[in-house]
């Protein structure tokens, strides 16, 4: 190193002020650590507990550090993959708590494992469209109102 260039060590960078003026506990090494932690089915909340911060702090770091946010997405995918492996093991006769697997997958991999069903009530002529139904209800209410008058 030469000249008057500033040099900052990673541990100094992790002492940047967070909201409220306190130094942030964020450490770039958490990017790899969160992936390793969640790869065997652990939650993001348990990672927060492991490093001694609140779950809300993890959410703040995800907003402030794009690389950490990306690592959390990878970690969640690895967690879901672990839960799928456990579920397949149970389906093949392994000793598995199916409720734990089901809820874990629904919450960790909702795009692939949700119960939500979308049913479209439309007919070819449009008579069952929401607009047509609203118009029919309005006509019925107007007719009822006129009969009472």
pLDDT, tens digit (0-9, with 9 covering 90-100), for 3-35: 555 444 444 444 455 556 678 899 999 999 999
Same domain, 61 and 130: no
* Proportion of the chain above pLDDT 70, given as a percent: 74
Structure tokens of 1? Answer: 């190193």
Give the chain's domain count.
2
- Is there a domain that residue 27 lies in? yes
* Residue 72 DSSP label: H
Question: What pLDDT score does 89 carry?
Answer: 85
CA–CA separation, 4 and 62 (whole Å): 34
pLDDT in tens, 33-87: 999 999 999 999 999 999 999 999 999 999 999 999 999 999 999 999 999 898 8
Same domain, 54 and 15: yes
Residues 101 and 36 in one domain: yes
pLDDT at 106: 82
Residues 51 and 92 in one domain: yes
Predicted local distance difference test score (pLDDT) of residue 17: 52
Alpha-carbon distance of 78 to 41, in angstroms, equals 8
Determine the average pLDDT of the residues in 129-144.
74
Quickly list H helices, the chain: 10-13, 30-38, 44-51, 55-64, 66-91, 98-108, 110-113, 130-148
What domain range is 139 assigned to? 119-149
Identify the pLDDT of residue 15: 47
Q: Return the pLDDT at 20.
A: 63
> How far is residue 64's CA from residue 12's CA, in Å, rounded to a whole number?
17
Q: Are residues 39 and 90 in the same domain?
A: yes
Q: What is the pLDDT of residues 74-120, one digit of tens each?
A: 999 999 999 989 888 888 888 888 888 888 888 877 777 777 767 66
Q: Can you give the pLDDT at residue 14?
A: 46
- Give me the CATH number covering residue 23: 1.10.10.60
The answer to whether residue 137 is domain-embedded is yes
């Amino acid at each position: 190193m030469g000249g008057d260039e500033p040099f900052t060590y990673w541990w100094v960078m992790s002492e940047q002020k967070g909201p409220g003026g306190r130094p942030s506990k964020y450490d770039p090494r958490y990017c790899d650590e969160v992936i390793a932690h969640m790869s065997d089915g652990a939650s993001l909340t348990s990672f927060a507990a492991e490093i001694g911060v609140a779950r809300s702090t993890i959410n703040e770091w995800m907003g402030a550090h794009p690389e950490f946010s990306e690592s959390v997405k990878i970690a969640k995918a690895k967690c879901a993959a672990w839960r799928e492996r456990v579920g397949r093991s149970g389906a093949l006769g392994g000793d598995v708590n199916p409720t734990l697997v089901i809820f874990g997958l629904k919450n960790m991999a909702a795009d692939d494992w949700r119960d939500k069903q979308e049913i479209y009530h439309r007919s070819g002529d449009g008579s069952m469209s929401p607009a047509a139904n609203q118009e029919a209800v309005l006509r019925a209410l107007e007719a009822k109102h006129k009969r009472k008058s």
